Structure 1
Amino acid sequence: MLETKNLEKVYQTGDRALDDVSVTLDGTEVVAMIGPSGAGKSTFIRCINRLVEPTSGDVWLDDVELTALSKPELQRERRNIGMVFQEYGLVERLTVMENVLSGRLGYVGFWQSLRRKFPPDAIEHAYETLERVGLRGYENKRVDALSGGQRQRVGIARAVLQRPKLLLVDEPTSSLDPETSHAVMELLAEIAVDTDVPVVINIHEVHLAEEFADRILGLSDGSLVFDGPPAELDEAAKTRVYQGATDSVGASRSTGESADNQLSQDELLTKNG
């Protein structure tokens, strides 16, 4: 179970990205977070694994209060939280297999990771995961030779290899064509069921959220203004979600979130490897 209690984030600019957001997620549901740019969607996801530090509030994963952990404790607990980045977060000079196996870096010793020596069961699981995401046969290709959709699948495979309790996905379809976007969302929904893991997806395409999510959270100006199944996301609900943010506030928050996103991605990769 994931629970956020009264979660708030105020950037140094004074912009409030999250305002008293309390959510409880349980089971293997696919949860889509929607809202205008700058509404706080990426900030919410990154506050869960503390790639962005919340200003106040609590985050719990099962019986562990993530917001109370020291840095070493947090590093260990992050093994239970898979993360798929909008910009993939892959090491492009490495092969597909090397990138996927980096999902196990939190479980092997320093020298093993330095020499890229992984247990046989991890390698077997990597092959199985590549098969699941439709990339079997690509394991020896360099990531910089792949398409955007293929890179996104590598990022998903890496996160799955962690065997996480929770999978966080930040705008997986933002740079993909409609057909590939549909395939990626379908894959994430299948993974939620097959691995018995809840998936939280920050997404702009409302029609994809309605098609693939079991539950939709709507953020507007950092506040949770909708929480329910797709069938209840009527025009009135969409208006509540999308009419709140002004262009000036959204632009300011987007700038703050973009900076945090890039720094946080580099930080996570460093911590994991």
Structure 2
Amino acid sequence: MLRTENLGKTYATGDEALKDVSVEIGGREVVAMIGPSGAGKSTFVRCINRLTEPTAGTVTLDGTELTALGKKELRNARRDIGMVFQEYNLVERLTVMENVLSGRLGYVSTWKAFRRNFSQKDVQRAYDLLELVGLDDMENKRVDELSGGQRQRVGIARAVIQEPKIILADEPTSSLDPETSRDVMRLLTDIAVDRNIPVLINIHEVHLAEQYADRILGLHDGNLVFDGRTAELTGDAKDVIYRDEGMPEAPAAETAADTASTTDKPTDPVPVEE
């Protein structure tokens, strides 16, 4: 269970990015955080694992108060938090397999990490995850040879191999085309269900949040202004979240695809991207 209580972030400029945000996320739910640009969505996600240091409030994961940990303790605690980044955050000169296995670095000694000496169990787990994300037989490719969608799948596999207690995804679809974005969202939701891991996704595309998330968090100007099931995200609720900012609209082709789909989260296998 992830719990934030009165989480706040004020920058040195005096700008308040977050204001007393309190939420609980657990089980295997997929939670999408939406809101206009500058609402504090990325700041919230990054404050959870202290890539950005909060200035107020607490973050607790399964009874461990992350905001109270020193550097060494925080390093160990971060093994329990899988992170999927907007710009992938991969080592492009390394292979797909090496990037996935980097998710196990927190579990091996410094010497083994330097030599990239991982156990056979970890290697087999990496092969299994590459098959799961649709990248089997690509383990020896360098990451800089992959498409954006394939790189994002490597990032997801790297997060899952940590065996985390929660996965945080910071705008995982913002650099992808509509079809690949749906593939990535489907993959994240399937992982949440199959592995019983809650997933928190900071996402700009509201239509994808509505299609794939179980629950929606709405931020506006650093304030949590909506917290409810996806079906409760009415037009009035969207107006509260976006107000004068204007809600981003789905591309026409994407809208048609969403209309044709069911309201249930898809469970069909993720196709391999050509």
TM-score by length of 1: 0.89
Higher helix share: 1
The aligned runs of 1:69-108 (5 Å cut-off) are 69-108=69-108
Q: Which amino acid aligns with 1:87?
A: E
Deviations along 1:11-52, whole A, 9 cap, x unmatched? 111111001100011211000000011100000000000000
In structure 2, how many angstroms separate the alpha carbons of the residues matched to 1:81 and 1:241? 27
> Secondary structure of the residue that 1:219 maps to in structure 2?
strand
> Which residue does 1:109 correspond to in 2?
109
Deviations along 1:183-222, whole A, 9 cap, x unmatched? 0000000000111100000001111100110100000000
The aligned runs of 1:156-171 (5 Å cut-off) are 156-171=156-171
Residue 177 (1) aligns with residue 177 (2): yes
In structure 1, how many angstroms separate the alpha carbons of the residues matched to 2:103 and 2:145? 20
Deviations along 1:85-118, whole A, 9 cap, x unmatched? 1000000000000000000000011111111110
The aligned runs of 1:201-240 (5 Å cut-off) are 201-240=201-240
In structure 2, how many angstroms separate the alpha carbons of the residues matched to 1:180 and 1:25? 26
In structure 2, how many angstroms separate the alpha carbons of the residues matched to 1:194 and 1:232? 25
Identity of aligned residues (%): 70
Residue 129 (1) aligns with residue 129 (2): yes
> Residues 67 and 244 of structure 1: is their aligned pair in 2 closer, same or farther, counting only changes over 3 Å?
farther
8 Å CA contact 1:80, 1:166 repeated in 2: yes
**Unmatched tracts of structure 1, length 5 or more:** 247-273
> Which residue does 1:191 correspond to in 2?
191
> Residues 75 and 244 of structure 1: is their aligned pair in 2 closer, same or farther, counting only changes over 3 Å?
farther
Residue 244 of structure 1: CA displacement? Answer: 6.0
In structure 2, how many angstroms separate the alpha carbons of the residues matched to 1:7 and 1:245? 24
8 Å CA contact 1:220, 1:245 repeated in 2: no
> Secondary structure of the residue that 1:163 maps to in structure 2?
coil
Residue 245 of structure 1: CA displacement? Answer: 5.8
Deviations along 1:105-156, whole A, 9 cap, x unmatched? 0001111111111000000000000000000011000000000000000000
- Structure 1 residue runs of 4+, over 3 Å off? none
> Which residue does 1:262 correspond to in 2?
none
RCO comparison, higher one (Cα < 8 Å, 6+): 1
8 Å CA contact 1:220, 1:244 repeated in 2: no
Deviations along 1:50-81, whole A, 9 cap, x unmatched? 00000100000011000000110000000000
> Secondary structure of the residue that 1:135 maps to in structure 2?
coil
8 Å CA contact 1:125, 1:161 repeated in 2: yes
**Unmatched tracts of structure 2, length 5 or more:** 247-274
> Which residue does 1:24 correspond to in 2?
24
Q: How many residues align?
A: 246
Q: Which amino acid aligns with 2:103?
A: G
In structure 2, how many angstroms separate the alpha carbons of the residues matched to 1:244 and 1:64? 39
TM-score by length of 2: 0.89
